[in-house]
């Protein structure tokens, strides 16, 4: 998984457990693509202060993930849902009754929506 995407997801899961400053710095850096210098200027702190908070915040996010595993569980569930979706896409409906074909097609659509919303 891409580092930026992973940190962004970790922020979604555990961001509220960080200090307000750590969350703000990580959000600006990973979700809004700000450089450390831009963050320092916006928050009126030193670049070193931004770096230290970013590093500490990342370490905490990784520690929370190691203890709680929410992101890994989420990723596993998403992958399994995608596998089920692929299985549904390969169901041959030509031998089914019209009613059963409609049920399978509706299940495909619902599952596709579910996977896309994750």
Express each pLDDT in 39-71 by its tens digit: 999 999 999 999 999 999 999 999 999 999 999
Report the CATH number that the domain containing residue 37 is assigned in CATH. 1.10.10.10
Same-domain pairing of 61 and 80: no
Same-domain pairing of 13 and 51: yes
3-state secondary structure 88-105: HHCCCCCCCCHHHHHHHH
State the pTM of this model. Answer: 0.79
Same-domain pairing of 12 and 46: yes
Express each pLDDT in 26-41 by its tens digit: 999 999 999 999 999 9
Residue 115 has pLDDT above 90, yes or no: no
Expressed as residue numbers, the domain containing 105 is 74-117
Same-domain pairing of 100 and 86: yes
Q: Tell me the mean pLDDT in the region 11-27.
A: 98
Same-domain pairing of 58 and 80: no
């Amino acid at each position: 998984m891409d580092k930026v995407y992973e940190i962004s997801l970790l922020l979604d899961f555990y961001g509220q457990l960080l200090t307000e400053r750590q969350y703000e710095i990580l959000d600006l850096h990973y979700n809004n693509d700000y450089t450390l210098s831009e963050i320092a200027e916006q928050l009126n702190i030193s670049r070193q202060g931004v770096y230290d908070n970013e590093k500490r915040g990342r370490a905490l996010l990784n520690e929370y993930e190691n203890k709680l595993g929410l992101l890994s569980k989420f990723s596993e569930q998403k992958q399994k849902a995608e596998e089920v979706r692929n299985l549904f896409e390969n169901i041959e409906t030509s031998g089914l009754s019209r009613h059963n074909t409609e049920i399978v097609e509706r299940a495909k659509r619902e599952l596709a929506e579910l996977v896309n919303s994750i």
